[in-house]
Amino acid sequence: MRILTPDADEYLVTDEAPYLESADEVSLFEAAWRAKLPVILQGPTGCGKSRFVSAMAKRLGRPLITVACHEDLSASDLLGRHLIVGDETVWCDGPLTTGVRHGAIVYLDEVVEARNDTLVVIHPLTDHRRVLPLERLGCQLGAPEDFMLVVSYNPGYQSVRKEMKPSTRQRFATIEFDYPSKEIESEIIQSESGVSEDVAAALVEIGGRVRELKQRGLDEGVSTRLLVYAGKLIVLGVDAQAACEMAFVKNLTDDRQLQGAVRSLVSDHL
Amino acid sequence: MGIRTRKKASIIRRLKSRIEGVGVSVRGLDKSLRKQALREVLAGVVYENLMVLEQQILSVLDQDGIAESVISDVSDFIVASEPQLRQRFIGVLGDVLERSPGVFGEILPNIYQAIHRDESVDFDRWLSDVGDGSNEEFVTGLDLGLAPLLDGGPVSFQLSGIQRTLTAYSTAHARLPLTITAVSGDRAWRAGDQIFLPKSIGEFKDSRDEQIYWGLAALLSGFLEFGSEDFIHQVEDGTMPSVHESTPNHHALFYRSFKHPIVASSLFPILELARVTTQVFLVYPGVAKASAPILKEILSRLLDETVPHEQYRTILWCCFIEIGDVETVYDRPAQWEGALATVTEAGSPVEATAAAVTALYPHFEQLFVESQPSETRSREIKHRTDGLDSSVRQSWGRERRLRDAMAAEGISVALTDVRRISSGVMNTGDSYREVNDFLDRNPVHRGGIVDSTDGDGSEGEEFLDKGGDVALVPGRGALYPEWDLRLGGYKQDWVRVTEYMVTREDAEFVDRVLDERGDVIGQVRRKFEAIRDDGMLRVRRVKDGDLIDIDAAIQARLDFKSTGHVNEAIYSRLRRRDQGLAVGFLVDLSSSTNEPAGFGARSILEVEKEALIVVCEAIDALGQQSAVWGFSGSGREEVSFYIAKRFHEDWNRSAKEKIGGLSWKMENRDGGAIRHAVSKFQENDAQTKLLVVLSDGRPLDCGSKEYRDQYGRADTRRALQEVKSAGISPYCITVDPSGASYLPELYGNVGYTVIESVTSLPDLMPRIIRQLTR
């Protein structure tokens, strides 16, 4: 039976965008990769987890295979499935199998969105065995040295139904992420959006203030990503207040009173 | 709410309960206590030179026994007096209540009617205001001096419209949870984590009135942001008097380093306001642009008026000149130049304010000495108080003089704080215990206190009634262990939790909720019914289903081709995702939940009950189960657990009315109640179990010595660990603005929500539950 495996080249990271290290996450990640440890990237939405893993894949020269997890994600979606091509039955590798074959970094984004029974398939990959059983092919793949499994997890979701099972969570080392420091966040905003240093500094200040409202009405603080959005709009000539309104004031919350507070925090600085 | 506020609220609430039960609390009271109360009043009366009443009280004190009629005489005096005299006497009563709430509790019910008959006095407000302004922290504010501010009519801007928004805004500025409280009058100030703002502003009758609020919020939260609280006064050896403070109050220490601390303590807040204003305007150009012109206009107008403390206002004005482009309208003395310049430099720290105070002190000390009362007046006071107990006389006179002097300097300080500072008594718990002891001399029925406001005029009697709104559940209830932080272990069988069924059905409450929130309830129901499918799971590879499972079908075809075996399990179908969701709501029924919620007349508990009606509707629409329990009690032997709705009970009119029947009780010993709630979940086989604790403050049981602070939190944390071990997810929804300071320790970083405005709870609660269970 023929086995279809996508080329590794398809997953090589070519993005030139730089990643600015906030603490020691780069060295920690490298150490985990060398030690062949799976890693959880834990932190709020939009703080740079996905950007980080992309940068690390490039730095380590590994293909990066990203899976956006969701509730209907099945084990077959991860491992692969049989397909009928003409009169032929072929096996098409899923992303996890592809990653194992190529020694890639497989990144399961928002892993809690997947059902726990689906995630069980990663267990043999995440302990000393480092193998991927493929029941339907009647074999198991041993993961090469370069393979690494990375998942992202945002504890801010708060859903009691979407907590990682301890049996899954305890297979991973954890790198904690938070929003970058003021200086780094300002640099990120400048480099990503092209705004001036002053505007970037103001956006950073606004972000810091708005994040104080997390769990005091806001489920999440404003992400660096949204601040970059605001910066991009400002660079294109949109009025600063209107840019912030569009980028994050209205989508952080539907609560009009809280929107009013965020709006005032914006006008304090711009 | 904070402990201190909570204690005060509890005292006031329980005092009011006694007051409204006139006839209950007076009979059979300790005569010596009543005598002491009268002595306290007498001291104040003498100081205020209320001679008529002084004679009345003295004649009674000379008698062996104190007749109840004496107190009636006091009441008559209040009613018969000239308004000015009456106001002064009512002021005395307020001072006595601050000094000795327990003692004063003896006579308060009897003067209630008298005060109540004076239409110029809002008794509730008077009682609530007693002690306001008391604080252990540096207090500062801005006297706006805007005459038309108060109740400025329909065109004035009401704080209520933006209070929640301002709270969030201030919190973001200060990076600390702040609360904003509306007050009558035209002052705006901050004390600790509270900002007090006028309830309405009608100065300009246009959008600038709202802008005043934004400016004030930015300025007052700026005190926290720019380090006013970080002031450290370096005490040199031998220069400070002994201070009875476990935690040094550096502002007070600094003031006491001057010959006349009052002068320093009046200068400091003004200069600090100038420093902080400068920093706010420099760091927030938006605030400066929008608010500075308005504040400057107000201040410039003040200069044209003859107002007290003009010298201080002038300093502030000069500081504003430093900030911006205001024309100099006042010639400031040359010696102020350097001091003011340092205060208003960019990045100037709080120490610069202290340096400026030191520089300006000599000038203002001279003004102060010139304004002191004459010796003649002092002698007169001494003569008139000779007949009193010497300790009472001395302390009263000292405290009152100190407070009056501070008031003359524009500093509002409560008598309790003056008393504390002057006597070295720092533990405000003393007065609380005093009043608690007094209140506890009356028996409390085992089911807790019944809401005295629920009756039809016989509230006082109902207070001592066994209660008609709950029924003891025979055989239900249990002893639970309690975690003792000091022992590092459990005290076995330490807390007795007794179950009561709520039997009172409040149809009126439900009618009102359905009437006012019917639309919301309908919307929530429709919304939750629409997402009901979210709780469904598509099961694959089954023999019967509504869709073909493509993967299974392909696999089946492959198997058939290779083996000849036919696998019929090629369909998928929906089934409920799990065995369901069970949400138990555990409502703190402590006495503080009877405090007003925001600006409305409704209490916190009333709003919480409205929210419960809405959220239970939502859960029912999801096809899931909910239970509603309340808890309160006093002491470890009496943790009462009230059941309004069980899991298996239908969500119907009766269930709603029983939720309406929940009423405020006494304390909240959270640990025992949480452990009992876990036992209620054991009767439910839902796969996802969620315990939502609805709270308005920290775990606190004043019915016992230890259940507070660290001890209470440690036990609650341990109880919550037991909740998790039982497979139940705990979550806390609190209206306590300081919740973020202690809830992470109990519920983890994401296990709680602080509701800024309790009135928004009915809207927010379904969203929170939806998010938790999505």
Contact A161 B173 (CB under 8 A): no
- CA-CA distance, A82 to A4, in Å (whole number)? 10
- The one-letter code for the residue type at A151 is V
Please check whether residue B164 touches A, CB under 8 A: yes
Residue A253 clears pLDDT 70, i.e. is over it = yes
Short-list A60, A52, A50, A63, CA closest to A108: A50
Q: Percent of chain A, pLDDT > 90?
A: 50
A117, A134, A161, best to mutate vs chain B, most B CBs in 10 Å: A161
Short-list A109, A111, A104, CA closest to A46: A109
Q: What are the DSSP calls for B686-739, one per residue?
A: -SEEEEEEEESS--B-TTSSSSSHHHHHHHHHHHHHHHHHTTEEEEEEE--TTG
- The one-letter code for the residue type at B500 is Y
Residue B527 clears pLDDT 80, i.e. is over it = no
Q: What is the pLDDT of residue B85?
A: 66
More confident residue, B513 or A158: B513
B90: its two tokens: 């009512």
For residue B177, list chain A residues with Cβ-Cβ distance below 8 A.
216
What order of strands is seen across the sheet that includes strand B179-183?
B139-143, B187-191, B194-198, B179-183
- CA-CA distance, B635 to B430, in Å (whole number)? 19
Q: What is the pLDDT of residue B206?
A: 82
For residue A158, list chain B residues with Cβ-Cβ distance below 8 A.
731, 750-751, 771-772
Contact A268 B287 (CB under 8 A): yes
Decide: residue B562, CB within 10 A, 0-12 exposed, 13-18 middle, 19+ buried. Answer: exposed
Q: What are the DSSP calls for A2-35, one per residue?
A: EEE---GGGG----------SSSHHHHHHHHHHT
Q: What is the pLDDT of residues B338-366, one digit of tens each?
A: 777 788 788 888 888 888 888 888 877 77
- CA-CA distance, B770 to B734, in Å (whole number)? 17
* Separation in Å, CA of A179 to nearest CA in chain B: 16
For residue A160, list chain B residues with Cβ-Cβ distance below 8 A.
688, 690, 729, 731, 772-773
What pLDDT band is residue A109 in, cutting at 50, 70 and 90? Answer: very high
- CA-CA distance, B353 to B344, in Å (whole number)? 9
Residue B482 clears pLDDT 50, i.e. is over it = yes
Residue B465 clears pLDDT 80, i.e. is over it = no
**Least confident interval from B133-142, B214-223, B736-745:** B133-142
What order of strands is seen across the sheet that includes strand A173-176?
A64-68, A105-109, A148-153, A39-42, A173-176
Contact A155 B750 (CB under 8 A): yes
Three-class secondary structure of residue B358 per DSSP:
helix
Contact B749 A270 (CB under 8 A): no
**Least confident interval from B111-120, B267-276, B309-318, B330-339:** B309-318
Residue B371 clears pLDDT 70, i.e. is over it = no
Interface of A with B in 160-179 (CB under 8 A): 160-162
Residues 6 or more apart whose Cβ sits within 8 Å of residue B196: B141, B180, B181, B182, B183, B187, B188, B189, B190
Please check whether residue B749 touches A, CB under 8 A: yes
Q: What is the mean pLDDT of residues B506-522?
A: 79
Please check whether residue A82 touches B, CB under 8 A: yes
* Separation in Å, CA of B584 to nearest CA in chain A: 14
Residue B767 clears pLDDT 70, i.e. is over it = yes
Please check whether residue B26 touches A, CB under 8 A: no
| Closest partner CB to A160 (pick from B166, B540, B773) | B773
For residue B757, list chain A residues with Cβ-Cβ distance below 8 A.
257
Residue A117 clears pLDDT 60, i.e. is over it = yes
Check if the beta carbon of residue B89 is closer than 8 Å to that of residue B76: no
Short-list B463, B739, B738, CA closest to B591: B463
Check if the beta carbon of residue B442 is closer than 8 Å to that of residue B478: no
Residue B392 clears pLDDT 60, i.e. is over it = no
| Closest partner CB to B754 (pick from A215, A257, A258) | A215
Check if the beta carbon of residue A177 is closer than 8 Å to that of residue A48: yes
Contact A216 B168 (CB under 8 A): yes
Q: What is the mean pLDDT of residues B203-230?
A: 85
Check if the beta carbon of residue A172 is closer than 8 Å to that of residue A183: no
The residue in chain A having the minimum alpha-carbon distance to the alpha carbon of residue B287 is A268
Contact B538 A72 (CB under 8 A): yes
The residue in chain B having the minimum alpha-carbon distance to the alpha carbon of residue A85 is B554
Please check whether residue B557 touches A, CB under 8 A: yes
Could you give the ipTM of this predicted complex?
0.70
**Least confident interval from A62-66, A132-136, B4-8, B679-683:** B4-8
Contact A269 B284 (CB under 8 A): yes
Please check whether residue A116 touches B, CB under 8 A: no
Check if the beta carbon of residue B78 is closer than 8 Å to that of residue B114: yes
For residue B551, list chain A residues with Cβ-Cβ distance below 8 A.
74, 76, 81
Please check whether residue A76 touches B, CB under 8 A: yes
Mean pLDDT value across chain A: 88
For residue A159, list chain B residues with Cβ-Cβ distance below 8 A.
771-774
**Least confident interval from A147-161, B290-304, B333-347:** B290-304
Short-list B313, B271, B275, B279, CA closest to B296: B313
Q: What are the DSSP calls for B488-547, one per residue?
A: TEEEEEEEEEEEEEE----HHHHHHHHHHHHHHHHHHHHHHHHTGGGGEEEEEEESS-SE
Q: What is the mean pLDDT of residues A192-209?
A: 93
Mean pLDDT value across chain B: 68
Q: What is the pLDDT of residue B54?
A: 64
Contact A258 B555 (CB under 8 A): no
Residue B219 clears pLDDT 60, i.e. is over it = yes
Contact A213 B749 (CB under 8 A): no
The residue in chain B having the minimum alpha-carbon distance to the alpha carbon of residue A268 is B286
Residue B727 clears pLDDT 70, i.e. is over it = yes
* Separation in Å, CA of B172 to nearest CA in chain A: 5
Check if the beta carbon of residue A226 is closer than 8 Å to that of residue A46: yes
* Separation in Å, CA of A73 to nearest CA in chain B: 11
First to last CA, chain B: 30
Interface of B with A in 508-547 (CB under 8 A): 538, 540
What pLDDT band is residue A26 in, cutting at 50, 70 and 90? Answer: very high
Q: What are the DSSP calls for A31-88, one per residue?
A: HHHHTT--EEEE--TTSSHHHHHHHHHHHHT--EEEEE--TT--HHHHHEEEEEETTE
Whole-model pTM?
0.57
Residue B140 clears pLDDT 90, i.e. is over it = no
Q: What are the DSSP calls for A88-108, one per residue?
A: EEEEEE-HHHHHHHHT-EEEE
Q: What is the pLDDT of residue B515?
A: 78
- CA-CA distance, B508 to B498, in Å (whole number)? 28
Please check whether residue B172 touches A, CB under 8 A: yes
* Separation in Å, CA of B552 to nearest CA in chain A: 10
What pLDDT band is residue B431 in, cutting at 50, 70 and 90? Answer: very low
Q: What is the mean pLDDT of residues A206-212?
A: 91
For residue A136, list chain B residues with Cβ-Cβ distance below 8 A.
555
Residue B22 clears pLDDT 50, i.e. is over it = no
Phi first, then psi: what are they for A70, rounded to 5°?
-150, 170
Please check whether residue A1 touches B, CB under 8 A: no
Q: What is the pLDDT of residue B457?
A: 32
Check if the beta carbon of residue B756 is closer than 8 Å to that of residue A217: yes
Q: What is the mean pLDDT of residues B150-178?
A: 78
Helix axes A256-269, A197-211, angle to 10 degrees: 150
- CA-CA distance, B233 to A248, in Å (whole number)? 43
Short-list B671, B713, B697, CA closest to B608: B697
Q: What is the mean pLDDT of residues B298-304?
A: 58
What pLDDT band is residue B151 in, cutting at 50, 70 and 90? Answer: very low
**Least confident interval from A143-157, B78-92, B490-504, B711-725:** B78-92
Q: What is the pLDDT of residue B683?
A: 75
Q: What is the pLDDT of residue A151?
A: 94
Q: What is the pLDDT of residue B442?
A: 35
Short-list B443, B445, B501, CA closest to B472: B501
| Closest partner CB to B169 (pick from A76, A265, A270) | A265
Q: B332: alpha, beta or left, given left = phi > 0 and alpha = psi -120 to 50?
A: beta
* Separation in Å, CA of A104 to nearest CA in chain B: 26
Q: Which contiguous run of DSSP H or E holds residue B190?
A: strand B187-191
B668: its two tokens: 């909240």
**Least confident interval from A128-142, B213-227, B363-377, B633-647:** B363-377
B282, B746, B756, B759, best to mutate vs chain A, most A CBs in 10 Å: B756
Count Cβ neighbours within 10 Å for each residue of B509-519 and write b for 16 or more, e otherwise: bbeebeeebee
Short-list B683, B762, B673, CA closest to B712: B673
Q: What is the pLDDT of residue B77?
A: 57
Residue B190 clears pLDDT 70, i.e. is over it = yes
Q: What is the mean pLDDT of residues B147-175?
A: 73
Please check whether residue A103 touches B, CB under 8 A: no
**Least confident interval from A202-211, B54-63, B405-414, B461-470:** B461-470
- Highest-scoring range by mean pLDDT, A186-200, B471-485, B547-561: A186-200
Please check whether residue A155 touches B, CB under 8 A: yes
More confident residue, B52 or B450: B52
Check if the beta carbon of residue B548 is closer than 8 Å to that of residue B571: yes
Residue B293 clears pLDDT 60, i.e. is over it = yes
Please check whether residue A74 touches B, CB under 8 A: yes
Decide: residue A100, CB within 10 A, 0-12 exposed, 13-18 middle, 19+ buried. Answer: buried
A215: its two tokens: 């769990």
Please check whether residue B729 touches A, CB under 8 A: yes
Please check whether residue B284 touches A, CB under 8 A: yes
Residues 6 or more apart whose Cβ sits within 8 Å of residue B515: none
Three-class secondary structure of residue A145 per DSSP:
coil
Interface of A with B in 216-255 (CB under 8 A): 216-217, 219, 255
- CA-CA distance, A60 to B545, in Å (whole number)? 47
Q: What is the pLDDT of residue B359?
A: 84
Q: What is the pLDDT of residues B733-759, one digit of tens each?
A: 887 767 777 788 777 766 777 776 666
B496: its two tokens: 């007795």
| Closest partner CB to A161 (pick from B731, B750, B774) | B774
Q: What are the DSSP calls for B265-310, one per residue?
A: HHHHHHHHHHHHHHHHHHH-HHHHHHHHHHHHHHHHHHHTS--TTH
Please check whether residue B756 touches A, CB under 8 A: yes
Check if the beta carbon of residue B488 is closer than 8 Å to that of residue B714: no
Looking only at the bridges linking them, the beta strands covering B752-754 and B728-734 are parallel
- CA-CA distance, A170 to B31, in Å (whole number)? 68
Please check whether residue B553 touches A, CB under 8 A: no
Short-list B145, B370, B142, B357, CA closest to B265: B357
